[in-house]
Structure 1
């Protein structure tokens, strides 16, 4: 394994934690429950076209 400079070790450390954080946010976002409220307002009678 080649020798890495201390700056490269810091970059690898940060890259690892950014990847872990990104994956955990994506998993949380995909498993998140969506709470919808039924409104009797006439302006919101049309169905939402966006699937999120």
Structure 2
């Protein structure tokens, strides 16, 4: 490994974790399930299930 200044090691550390975080967010975003809203006419309204 080359001799780097401590500030450059900090930058490399931050760059690595930013890359890991952004790739995990991209993978999560691409595999996310998209929920479609169901029209209210096809839904049967059962009322409020909570007792308050």
Q: Structure 1-normalised TM-score?
A: 0.71
Partners of 2:17 and 2:36 lie apart in 1 by 33
- Runs of 4+ in structure 1 deviating by more than 2 angstroms, as ranges, are none
Task: Kindly report which structure 2 residues correspond to 1:11-26, keeping only aligned pairs within 5 A, or say none.
Answer: 11-26=11-26
CA RMSD of aligned residues (A): 1.5
Rg bigger for which structure?
A: 2
Q: Deviation digits for residues 6-50 of structure 1, max 9, x if unmatched?
A: 000000000000000000000000100011112258xxxxxxxxx
Q: Structure 2-normalised TM-score?
A: 0.71
